[in-house]
Amino acid sequence: MKSIIKTESLTKVYNGKVLAVNHVNLEVEEGEIFGFLGPNGAGKTTTIKMLATLLKPTDGEALVAGFDVLKESNEVRKRIGIVFQDPALDSELTGRENLDFHARLYGLARSQRKKRISEVLELVDLVDKADTLVKNYSGGMRRRLEIARGLMHYPKVLFLDEPTLGLDPQTRRAIWDYIRKLNVEEEVTIFLTTHYMEEADYLCERVAIIDHGEILVTDKPSKLKRSIGRDLISICCLNSPRFLSALKEAEWIESLKIHNETITLGVRESEGKLPLLIGLALKNNVKIKSIDIRKPTLEDVFLYYTGRRIREEEVKGIDQFKVSRRFRRR
């Protein structure tokens, strides 16, 4: 497949002190839905802003639709659409008027604007609300209109920055279906950021996990989940060095991670491994408080590669590192 986005050592440092994006290398294939998965402050939005020519990289290179984001920024802008986290609609205009205004900015002729407005309104199921003031739209309707606006000028790449942030679960799922629909019908490559595991799993053909400005791993969600074991056994117990050593030496354990009092093991055919696990615990005088068996999720993948859950990062807030600690060449 042809790459429509490609970066090499893409880096952004704010004020010469705070490293937000650390030598990111990635390739996004034409026509795919690609996900950037990570907590707030991980560098997702900063990366999108550099790819969309809204921020200049401190170091590295990036090509979007074959054009350099620094040297050919105008050509890049002609070929991309973007939906920001924060609302950017004029609430005193109707949906149709918002779309028309955006199309004028891109120089679409009157006849072309009329045709395109009808197309994108139908795509996001807002035909019956086209002449309603946006201030009377629900949150989900506003998000759909913003997506429609991003498609007005026939972009090759559509950037969606946290497209369902703040929406209720039912509305979020509806937005997912619209995103899939426009990916197929508009033949547009979609690059989305999210911290919702289920969103990345449902929508994305490939996912990159980003943390502290660095990409830790990139692959299909199914392969990422398989990479940490076919099944997961989570054991809640008091940590014991002898027990941990025994687990690490067990050949039937494919992966092992420790998170507070929870030990998570990746294994095959978990039911058959329970007697072995309990035997090791008894042998090492370890009292198991609880055992949970499940299939891996992207939450487990994130925990495996970062050592913590993404929800913990949401509580902590912005999480960025000083250049003196993290800024280094690869």
Q: Is the pLDDT of residue 121 over 90?
A: yes
Give the integer Cα–Cα distance in Å for 141 and 183. 19
> What number is the average pLDDT over the span 210-233?
91
Q: pLDDT band at 327, cuts 50/70/90?
A: very low
| Global pTM value | 0.82
- Low-confidence winner among 16-30, 85-99, 307-321 (lowest mean pLDDT): 307-321
Q: Return mean pLDDT, the chain.
A: 89
- Per-residue pLDDT reduced to its tens digit, 237-271: 887 889 999 999 999 998 888 887 889 998 988 88
Q: How far apart are CA 38 and CA 327, in angstroms?
A: 19
For residue 242, how many other CB atoms are within 10 A of its CB? 12
Give residue 315's pLDDT band: very low, low, confident or very high (50, 70, 90): very low
Q: What is the pLDDT of residue 324?
A: 35
Given this model, what pLDDT does residue 240 score?
Answer: 82
d(CA 273, CA 276): 5
Contact by Cβ (8 Å): 27, 208: no
pLDDT band with cut points at 50, 70 and 90 for residue 310: low
Q: Which domains does the chain have, with CATH numbers?
A: 3-220 (3.40.50.300), 229-295 (3.30.70.120)
180: Cα within 13 Å, side-chain hemisphere: 13
| Burial annotation 13-44 (CB, 10 A radius, 16+ → b, else e) | beeeebbbbbbbebbbeebbbbbbbbbbbbbb
Q: What is the pLDDT of residues 49-86, one digit of tens each?
A: 999 999 999 999 999 999 999 999 999 999 999 998 88
- Pick the residue with more confidence: 175 or 228? 175
Are the CB atoms for 293 and 233 separated by under 8 Å? yes
Cα distance from N-terminal residue to C-terminal residue, the chain: 26
